Amino acid sequence: MKYIPYALLVGAAALFPYCVQRVFLHTPIEAEMGTAQKIFYFHVPLAWICMLFAVICGIAAGVQLRRRSERAEALAVAAGEMTVLAGVGVLITGPIWGDATWGTPWTGDARQVSTALLWLVFVAYLLVREYGPPNSERIAAALAIFGAIDVPIIYYAVKIWKTTHPQTGVVGSLPQSMWNTLFICLAALMMLSIALVWIRAAQARLAIALDQAWIAADTQQRAAQPA
């Protein structure tokens, strides 16, 4: 099992050059948006990855709070970090694409605002986890759960409110060549994301075990000292 993330990293590294070649050389240019539409093949997978790991972080944080599970705690931290990392990609590629197609990088529509809110919530979650007092676990878990609840709001924002974003069904209406390119890029980014979360969760578990070992050693040392 310990070699799985490294195999995923190798697979992603091999697939990324093909993704770039396919996007720019073998996928037709969209008629209305032109070459600027090419960023779609990276923006959309990053958005899906961001939302996926936001949900995973929220669930894991809830499990950790209820069951005091070290594995859940490590997974929550790793998934939260991936949510922030993928969110940075979304918030960079989105305005670039928007500026090229809408004439402005930010329209303030519901999907943009709810996505930015998701990113800020998970930044706050990581800050509370890292720098909060020992009793801040509930606050951190509440932030992660709130962020997970924001995911369906992001998804349905284009249906509930009038927005400049395309409808969620636009992916299903793509020509087959564009559809194939999108999911090849998604596969590469997903393999990379899973590998990084896997490795980071393992590091977090080791850090938790090390902290517990230090506490146990300190307790034994204090108990061995004469009164």
| Beta-carbon-side half-sphere exposure of residue 94 (alpha carbons within 13 Å) | 22
pLDDT at 227 exceeding the cut of 60:
no
Q: Please report whether residue 1 resides in a domain.
A: no
pLDDT of residue 81: 98
pLDDT of residue 225: 73
**Beta-ladder partners of 34:** 30
Confidence of residue 139 (pLDDT cuts 50, 70, 90): very high
The closest of 111, 123, 131, 165 to 147, measured between CA atoms, is 123
- Tens digit of each residue's pLDDT (9 = 90 or more) over 174-209: 889 999 999 999 999 999 999 999 999 999 999 888
DSSP 10-66: HHHHHHHHHHHHIIIIISPPBTTTBGGGGGHHHHHHHHHHHHHHHHHHHHHHHHHHH
Q: Please report whether residue 52 resides in a domain.
A: yes
Cβ atoms within 10 Å, residue 144: 33
pLDDT of residue 121: 98
Looking at per-residue pLDDT, the higher value among 104 and 170 belongs to: 104
pLDDT of residue 88: 98
- Domain residues for the domain of 63 are 38-165+175-219
Q: Please report whether residue 9 resides in a domain.
A: no
Mean pLDDT score of the chain, rounded to an integer? 91
Q: Please report whether residue 27 resides in a domain.
A: no
pLDDT of residue 78: 97
pLDDT at 113 exceeding the cut of 70:
yes
Number of domains forming the structure of the chain: 1
Q: Please report whether residue 106 resides in a domain.
A: yes
> Taking residues 48-65, what's their average pLDDT?
97
Q: Return d(Cα 17, Cα 128) in angstroms, integer.
A: 38
pLDDT at 25 exceeding the cut of 80:
yes
- pLDDT over 90 for what percent of the chain? 66
Q: Please report whether residue 25 resides in a domain.
A: no
Looking at per-residue pLDDT, the higher value among 3 and 31 belongs to: 3
- Tens digit of each residue's pLDDT (9 = 90 or more) over 80-95: 999 999 999 999 999 9
Q: Please report whether residue 125 resides in a domain.
A: yes
pLDDT of residue 169: 67
Q: Where are the alpha helices (DSSP H) in the chain?
A: 4-21, 40-67, 70-101, 110-131, 137-160, 176-224
pLDDT at 112 exceeding the cut of 80:
yes
Q: Please report whether residue 127 resides in a domain.
A: yes
The closest of 112, 119, 97 to 163, measured between CA atoms, is 112
Residue 40 neighbours by CB under 8 Å, 6+ apart: 97, 182
The closest of 37, 28, 181, 167 to 102, measured between CA atoms, is 37
The closest of 57, 82, 59 to 195, measured between CA atoms, is 82
Cβ atoms within 10 Å, residue 167: 11
